[in-house]
Chain A
Amino acid sequence: MSGGETGNRAEAGNVTDSVVRLENIGLSHDHGRSFILRHVDLEIRRGEFVALLGPSGVGKSTLLRVIMGLVRPTEGQVHLHSTPVAAHRPAAMVFQDAKLMPWRSVRRNVELGLEGLGLNAARRRERAMAALELVGLGDKADRWPRQLSGGQRQRVGVARALTVEPDLLLMDEPFGALDAITRTGLQEELLRIHARTHGTVLFVTHDLDEALILADRIIILEGHPAGLRGDFRVGPRPRDNSAPGMRAMAERMRQLIAGEDDPGEVAAYWQASEI
């Protein structure tokens, strides 16, 4: 998430407002005989918290890797708009199971993305420490990853991504492997950080409840090949997930995830899916 000054929602309507735009993305591993992703168009605006929801194994993580530039799409283009800020990265990713480097101390793990940005050691340390403070782990900077709990490791993963001040924060089911209590705590913390930084987030999950708690906007990826099947705007916070409107929307999403819609109906719903 970029700093508050670059992530202001008041900029809505501006041309530079789009952080990432996907244009007809298709991905095939067998030279076009079959596709994993097909015809994916998506635009995410600065400051949006978007959940990418879909059944397990549908290609959500793969789409995230396409946006991150780790996987080259077979068709289409990814336009990632980077703000002209020094010492930052356009996108950063929080991985499933944190994926810290066990031979680096917590602080050195957070510094990973800062190396190569032209910062000296003192400045890197300062930024890493600020990110660790933000996730509440300032006192664990000199520990080894193995000395942390699963939830703490995942916080370090979040700090590692935040410290490069990305325009777009990609999160790949980051809390999926955690117990329910730790998970709820981290969700609340993520919302708190988002409220403070107004960063742009694309959060992959297969958990509808998690998407409803976190996101301003929920998009649904489903099918073979997978494509976007729905785009919902969730109402302002605080939310009442038991309100009739919310329940109807959740039910709708559930049907879309289960693939219970014919293409025509999906297209119609796409337009009308705002509450």
Chain B
Amino acid sequence: MTLRRSVLLRPLLGAVGLVVLFGGWEAAIRLGWVPFGLLPAPSSLGPAWLDELRSGAWIQAIRDSLTHYLSGLLIGSVTGAVLGLLCGAVPLLDGLLSGVVRVLRPIPGLAWVPFAILWFGLNTAGATFVIAISVFWINFYAAYGAVQAIDPDLYEVAASFGHGGFWGRLRTVVIPASAPGLLAGLRTGLGQAWMSVVAAELFGVPGIGARMMQASSLLATDLVVVYMLTMALLYAVTDTLFMLVRRRLLGWQG
């Protein structure tokens, strides 16, 4: 019965919850419970989206934001994971960087916006930089923790069967053993990066965030909600794609 519940009942319940939310919302507006202009009616979202789609602005905003998202995610994840793996595996590097990490770690990605604008300008590179920083730390700590958690006996096994030395350990133990942790970090980063996309674009770099700012300055709340839902959709798509890949890579975990 547990299987039936998880396969059929849960999505059904989820859909019911959504219907209740949007239905209640629509009713609240029609009944005049919400002051005019504070919230768009759900029924106005469809037309607003169609207008945006026809003008080409919707597709353009998604294209711009995806560019920032993917390049920031790629740069931040790869550098974070690699540096995290190395710090976890090389005590000397770990020691050397421990002070630097302690200083830089608490600084949120958004705090780098002034420098992003100064160094790169209000463009793709600037947005990418902010997103990359926010993703970097998630992946750094995920990788670092994953390496620290490896059963040290496995290094002995690897060495006994001819895989001693730095590269042998890295190939036969460190990378495969930390894969689950790395992928968990990557997944957290997938969500975090979408948040940073909006933040990075709110300052004027074209994309979903910039479009939301424009809409809100025109009091087009329906358009703001359309883009909020667009982000939710994009996140769902990237997360689903990621989980498909993850299942293939980590079949051994069952």
Contacts and interface: CB of A to CB of B under 8 A. Distances in A.
Interface residues of B, number: 21
Contacts of B254: 144, 146-147
Given A95-B153, A144-B254, A146-B252, A103 B176 contact: yes
Contacts of B61: none
Nearest to A147: B254
Interface residues on A, range: 20 to 34
Nearest to A113: B161
Given A144-B254, A146-B254, A99 B153 contact: yes
B2 interface: no
A60 interface: no
B154 A160 contact: no
A134 interface: no
Given A101-B176, A103-B177, A103-B252, A115 B163 contact: yes
Most buried by B among A65, A68, A103, A113: A103
Contacts, number: 59
Nearest to B157: A99
Most buried by A among B162, B251, B254: B162
Contacts of A253: none
Nearest to B254: A146
B179 interface: yes
A92 B163 contact: no
Nearest to B168: A116
A248 interface: no
B162 A115 contact: yes
Interface in A59-94: 65, 68, 70, 89, 92-93
A153 to B, nearest CB: 13
Most buried by A among B151, B157, B160, B252: B160
Nearest to A93: B160
Interface string A136-147: 000000001111
25 contacts: A70-B156, A70-B159, A70-B160, A89-B162, A92-B160, A92-B161, A99-B154, A99-B156, A99-B157, A101-B154, A101-B157, A102-B252, A102-B253, A103-B176, A103-B179, A103-B250, A104-B176, A112-B158, A112-B163, A112-B172, A146-B252, A146-B253, A146-B254, A147-B254, A160-B161
A-B pairs, 9 with minimum CB distance: A113-B161, A103-B176, A103-B252, A112-B161, A116-B162, A93-B160, A144-B252, A99-B157, A99-B153
